[in-house]
Copies of this chain bind each other. A is one copy, B any other.
Amino acid sequence: MTSSLDTLARQFRERGHKLTQPRRAILRTLLAASRPLSPAEIQEYGQSYCQDLGLVTVYRTLELLEDLDLVRAVHVAQNCHGYALSTPGHTHHVVCERCHAVVEIVGCELGDFLDSVAERTGYAITGHWLEISGICAECRANERQDSTTL
């Protein structure tokens, strides 16, 4: 399911890019992440793998990883960009409003719907972006607890 560091590293080199310490740190960070991270977060967490990882390098590496389709940018509410490793195939995210935990929905069941959209609008559909928000089981449990405590 999830790619390993080796797999990512290989794909990286195969396409003619050097696998430096900073880049390795960024890949490790993304692998360990349970939700999309902002560039600043990637720098912060990445520094545990590469002491002086610079924010600029994070930006440049993310751009490269996006080009290689190894990472995808997702729209997260507040200040827009979050980055997560892309999983093979087409997926959608369900994001918890409280704790920002992300669950991926693998497989996309929108095919029929999109066909009907194409028919109704006359557009040739080339892509779509679906983001679902909700509250995860854990946060709901916590909220129930809080309300009894109040």
Q: Which residues of A are in contact with B by a Cβ distance under 8 Å?
A: 75, 80-81, 94, 96-97, 103, 105, 109-110, 113-114, 116-118, 120-137, 140
Contact = CB atoms under 8 A, between A and B. Distances in A.
Copies in the complex: 2
Given A94-B121, A110-B113, A113-B109, A133 B137 contact: no
A123 B105 contact: no
Contacts of A133: 125-129
Contacts of A105: 117, 120-121
A117 B129 contact: no
A109 B116 CA distance: 10
A123 B134 contact: yes
25 contacts: A94-B117, A96-B123, A103-B123, A105-B117, A105-B121, A109-B113, A109-B116, A110-B110, A122-B137, A124-B134, A124-B135, A124-B140, A125-B132, A125-B133, A125-B134, A126-B133, A126-B134, A126-B135, A128-B130, A128-B132, A128-B133, A129-B131, A129-B132, A129-B133, A130-B130
